[in-house]
Amino acid sequence: MSGLYRNALTWLDERFGAGSVEEFLRHKTIPIHRHSVWYYFGGMTLFLFIVQLLTGILLLLYYRPTPNDAFESVQYMVTQVRFGWLIRSIHSWSANLMIFTAFVHMFSVYFLKAYRKPRELTWVSGMLLLFIVMGFGFSGYLLPWNTLAFFATKVGTEMAGSVPLVGKWMLIFLRGGEEVTGATLTRFFGFHVAVLPLLATTLLALHLMLVQQLGMSTPPGVEKAIVEGREQKRIMPFFPNFLLRDMIGWYAALGVLGALAAIFPWELGTKADAFAAAPAGIRPEWYFLFMFQTLKYLPSKVLFIDGELLGIFGFSAAALVWVAMPFLDRRIGFGRTTRFFTGAGVFVIGYMMVFSWLALR
């Protein structure tokens, strides 16, 4: 087996220098310390993304993106097609778990200060990926064309529309007209299965290349302890040692996905009706809840500004600052942490959790 592998590698190496690819894979090591568990969440997010890709392709075999057919095609898929319910439920559950692990990954990178020099661009590409993932969530949510999705899309696109100057243009661009109609569904379908996957795959390649090139970051606290001799530097090769550990996690994740899909199959709801009132208790997906709740609390006017506009500006500004964090957190360095930025992170997590909880109450 090993001989065959060697021979194959030699053959490829003679053609295009495959040895350098193997070298590229092998040069990364994983630092082993008390925070090492957080290193698993990036790989887990990647795995769930691949699950999304595969189940998404399967859903495409039956889904029809028109207002007359969309709901019925999903209904047909989950009631008539063998294992259709499973594929759709896994796609929905995996989407939600992926957003969750992406957030965990992002916050762990934030608190362990892994965005500090030279990894600023890895952070920026990761944040862009997170926005794309949320775009996937928002566009995919509409595709079954049910009541909840219909109103969530109305509200979401209307928020984009209230931005001064370009708002109207963005609203028409997103909706494919003045109102949320079949035109919107067609567009969201295109975004969800073509535009966003292309952007995500490109950015993902960049993100992974940067991670591979720069190696894993050791948290400043651990770095300091090693320099001061309080802790020993320990490492593990990424390939194959850490990757095999990753794969155990992925295998478990598949089990969890299957169990969730079987025990809690994803609801389809009722078909969207443009001439029905928004149902009581309507709310967006959990990862938008903190923004949703903030919008509920904002009064119609704050001084002379529309409340919702203030909310949108607030969140956009916060997101921009968050993306720019590696460039703002300048005093961070080898073995040194910055308490102010850690505090800001705690505040952000606290805000998101409290407002999400208030929305669920």
What is the C-alpha to C-alpha distance for residues 333 and 270, in angstroms, rounded to an integer?
54
Establish if 357 lies at the interface with another protein (CB under 8 A). Answer: no
Among 69, 158, 212, 328, binds another protein (CB under 8 A): 158
Among 300, 303, 304, 339, binds another protein (CB under 8 A): 300
State the nearest-atom distance from the C-beta of 218 to another protein, in Å: 45
Contact 253, 44 (CB under 8 A): yes
Closest CA to 292 of 159, 173, 134: 159
Establish if 298 lies at the interface with another protein (CB under 8 A). Answer: yes
Size of the site for another protein (CB under 8 A): 34
Closest CA to 136 of 56, 75, 64: 56
By CB under 8 A, what part of segment 315-344 binds another protein?
none
What is the C-alpha to C-alpha distance for residues 157 and 149, in angstroms, rounded to an integer?
12
The stretch near another protein (CB under 8 A) out of 50-58, 119-127, 197-205, 303-311 is 303-311
The stretch near another protein (CB under 8 A) out of 2-10, 14-22, 152-160, 349-357 is 152-160
Site string for another protein, 102-141 (x = CB under 8 A): ----------------------------------------
Nearer to another protein, 231 or 308 (CB): 308
CA dihedral 103, 105, 106, 109 (to 10 degrees): 160
Nearer to another protein, 298 or 332 (CB): 298
Establish if 155 lies at the interface with another protein (CB under 8 A). Answer: yes
Contact 53, 247 (CB under 8 A): no
State the nearest-atom distance from the C-beta of 169 to another protein, in Å: 8
Give the burial string for 66-97 (b: 16+ CB within 10 Å, else e).
ebeebbebbeebbeebeebbbbbbbbbbbbbb
State the nearest-atom distance from the C-beta of 161 to another protein, in Å: 8
By CB under 8 A, what part of segment 276-295 binds another protein?
276-282, 292, 295
Nearer to another protein, 8 or 278 (CB): 278
Among 60, 274, 318, 353, binds another protein (CB under 8 A): 274
Give the burial string for 286-295 (b: 16+ CB within 10 Å, else e).
ebbbbbbbbb
What is the C-alpha to C-alpha distance for residues 92 and 140, in angstroms, rounded to an integer?
9
By CB under 8 A, what part of segment 176-215 binds another protein?
176-179, 183
Residue 336: DSSP 8-state? B
Contact 56, 262 (CB under 8 A): no
What's the CA angle centered on 253, arms 291 and 246, to 5 degrees? 105
Residues that bind another protein (CB under 8 A): 151, 154-155, 157-159, 162, 169, 172-173, 176-179, 183, 274-282, 292, 295-296, 298-301, 306-308
